[in-house]
């Protein structure tokens, strides 16, 4: 592995790690106690923060997927392009679900949509990690 390949792989690994931390923050928001609050204002605030954290995680995952694919191409790893396409589809879906969560009526529906978003984003993150770290 030459220096350029090593740098690409290192950048991709760092992006996957940063995305993993972002997805954990989003997961914590889904478990925020404010969703169970008796005050509508607090429930709405929790839903807004959840959507924001999911969208932020989605951006980081998108970056990790892209960097992972570039590193895999530089290293000539077979099967990486198919994983890249699957991950790209999953991250787009996850980000779309995160954005649409706020449009739903009822906090329970917003939270449920957030959980769907999280599942899609985790699928994309796992694909990016597989590209970088192998199966």
What confidence score (pLDDT) does residue 48 get?
94
Contact 77, 14 (CB under 8 A): no
Q: Return the pLDDT at 5.
A: 86
Q: 87-98 burial string, b = 16+ CB within 10 Å, else e?
A: bbebbebbbebb
Give me the residue spans of the domains in the chain: 3-133
Which segments of the chain have a pLDDT < 70?
135
Which pLDDT score is estimated for 75? 84
């Amino acid at each position: 592995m030459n220096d350029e390949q090593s740098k690409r792989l290192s950048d991709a690994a760092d992006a996957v790690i940063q995305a993993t931390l972002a997805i954990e923050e989003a997961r914590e928001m889904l478990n925020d106690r404010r969703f169970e609050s008796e005050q509508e204002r607090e429930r709405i605030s929790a839903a807004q923060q959840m959507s924001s954290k999911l969208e932020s995680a989605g951006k980081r995952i998108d970056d990790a997927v892209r960097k992972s694919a570039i590193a895999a191409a530089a290293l000539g790893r077979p099967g990486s392009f198919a994983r890249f396409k699957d991950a790209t589809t999953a991250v787009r879906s996850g980000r779309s679900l995160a954005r649409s969560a706020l449009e739903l009526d009822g906090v329970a529906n917003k939270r449920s949509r957030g959980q769907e978003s999280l599942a899609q984003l985790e699928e994309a993150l796992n694909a990016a990690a597989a590209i970088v770290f192998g199966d």
